[in-house]
Amino acid sequence: MNYENTCLGLELGSTRIKAVTIDENHVPLSSGDYTWASSYENGIWTYSLEEVWQGLKTAVSGIANPGSVKAMGVSAMMHGYLAFDKDWNLLVPFRTWQNTITAQAARELTEAFRFNIPQRWSIAHLYQAVLNQEPHVPQIAHITTLAGYVHYMLTGVNAVGVGEASGIFPIDSDTNGYDEGMMVKMEEILAKYNLPWNVRDVLPGVLVAGEPAGKLTAEGAALLGGVLPEGIPFAPAEGDAGTGMTATNAVAPRTGNVSAGTSIFSMVVLEKPLSQVHEEIDLVTTPTGKAVAMVHCNNCTNDMNAWVKVLRETVELFGGSVTTNDLYTKLYQKSLEGDVDCGGVTTYNYMAGEGVTHLDGGRPMVVRKPDSSFTLANFLRSQLYATMSTLKIGMDILAEEGVAIDSLTGHGGLFKTPVVGQKYMAAACNAPVTCMETAGEGGPYGMALLAAYMLRKAEGETLEQYLNNRVFAGAKSVTLTPEPEEVAGFDAYLTQFKNGLKAQRAAVETI
């Protein structure tokens, strides 16, 4: 392996902070990671910013030959709300994408813009804080996302990539900047509150993939533990959606990908605008500003992870031990023995609320009839079906809009075990699903690719051309096509899932 002239991708995901380096041939070389989790404090899902830096130091310490890094970039979970004063002091704890506390703001902005503004978007959080008359609002000088914050602290540049920016405020794909018409409307909405700031001034700047976005400062190098040399050029900071599209070569029209881990979302690059506003569908962009339809679901594998922990305790109760990797692999594979409709066992994996199904909270549930076939395999298969059921509801809206998808690529933790998640996703979407060798790398690998593109960009070469010609031309991949019996089984499961959402709603209201 060539450990010279590497590119580094950092990503702050929902469960792991990870660093990945790639060589000049875009092959992953080394990685480091740090496990963390959000906490629920005073009704807010949040992460500690102190742990951000502890995690990044740990992740970076795991990479080989850090002195060889020639370009790097930062990615993180999109959306959310980090508000700072003029000296970049944090005004309120970080509000993550998991929160469903901005319903009024999201509804009013969607109506005003005639453009869907989901609850997790940064502008919804900002406007909701204004509506709530929160004490910190007059002190705001900057709001940004987690990726934007880390990028600023490492480089001194207060800007994000256009894909990340598209989860802050709507983007005009013609200019690759914030939509001016909607910005004017936002200013008009806020004018009556007599705030000491203008909304366009508190948002981060917008950059496009391939543009330079600053260099690692001495202060930034110290924050990462002092192992990286000062002066490394940075690519624009991106969200996990943009890095996922890059990592799966899904940045051209009619391509799509599904990222599945703590949350699950699909990204489909559009050929033409949707015919109407759908509250269930986000309109964001690729790292180069192309319009993308995004179906985002807050809940994916967290409930499964909780059950795996219980099953591990059961093994240990009898004196056994098993590695985490073996445990997940065996349980995922066991699910393949289940009935295609899960034998009547239905799981609601809602740890948090879901915009697609219009729920502001979640209560994990497993539901079955007295005559359901409640076996381990059916239970596990139901758990895995649940991870993608809400996504399927959103994908059906895109199908009704006539959105064409030539290829769908899966990546993230759900696809690490070969065949299983891929097989179920093909059945859910009734479309071929491809997984590459790098399926488990996901975002940090995609961020490293964006850093490489920025460093080595040829004159006139688009990101699509770069990925097709230089990165994925000989990539190893496996494609699974949907089997009719599996499709019918998932459809039967989904019908039961949708019928039972009334029970989920009642649980949220009463428990």
Question: Any idea what the Cα angle at residue 385 is, between residues 383 and 386, rounded to 5°?
Answer: 65
Q: What is the pLDDT of residues 136-190, one digit of tens each?
A: 999 999 999 999 999 999 999 999 999 999 999 999 989 999 999 999 999 999 9
Place 355 in a pLDDT band, splitting at 50, 70 and 90. confident
Neighbours of 146 (CB within 10 A): 27
Neighbours of 282 (CB within 10 A): 25
Q: Average pLDDT of the chain? A: 94
- pLDDT of 5: 87
Average pLDDT of the segment spanning 435-440: 68
Residue 99 has pLDDT above 60, yes or no: yes
Interstrand relation of 238-239 and 171-172 (parallel, antiparallel or unpaired) = unpaired
The overall longest dimension of the chain from CA atoms, in Å, is 66
CB 359 within 8 A of CB 505: yes
Place 15 in a pLDDT band, splitting at 50, 70 and 90. confident
Two structure tokens written together for 121: 């978007």
Residue type present at position 423 = K
What is the 8-class DSSP label of residue 60? H
Q: pTM to 2 decimals?
A: 0.84
- pLDDT of 412: 79
Helix (H) or strand (E) holding 248: none
Place 289 in a pLDDT band, splitting at 50, 70 and 90. very high
Average pLDDT of the segment spanning 322-339: 96
- pLDDT of 475: 81
Q: What is the pLDDT of residues 356-413, one digit of tens each?
A: 999 989 999 999 999 999 999 999 999 999 999 999 999 999 999 999 888 789 887 8
In 365-414, beta strands by DSSP E = 365-367, 407-411
CB 179 within 8 A of CB 187: no
- pLDDT of 265: 87
- pLDDT of 476: 84
390 versus 1: the higher-pLDDT residue is 390
Task: Calculate Rg over the CA atoms of the chain.
Answer: 22
β partners of residue 480: 433
- pLDDT of 50: 97
Place 440 in a pLDDT band, splitting at 50, 70 and 90. low
- pLDDT of 438: 59
| DSSP assignments along 251-320, one per residue | -STTEEEEEESSSEEEEEE-SS--SS--TT-EEEE-TT--EEEEEEES-SSHHHHHHHHHHHHHHHHTT-
Distance CA 410, CA 416 (A): 10
- pLDDT of 362: 94
- pLDDT of 441: 60
Distance CA 500, CA 505 (A): 9
- pLDDT of 1: 55
| C-alpha dihedral, 218 to 219 to 222 to 227, nearest 10° | -30
- pLDDT of 292: 95
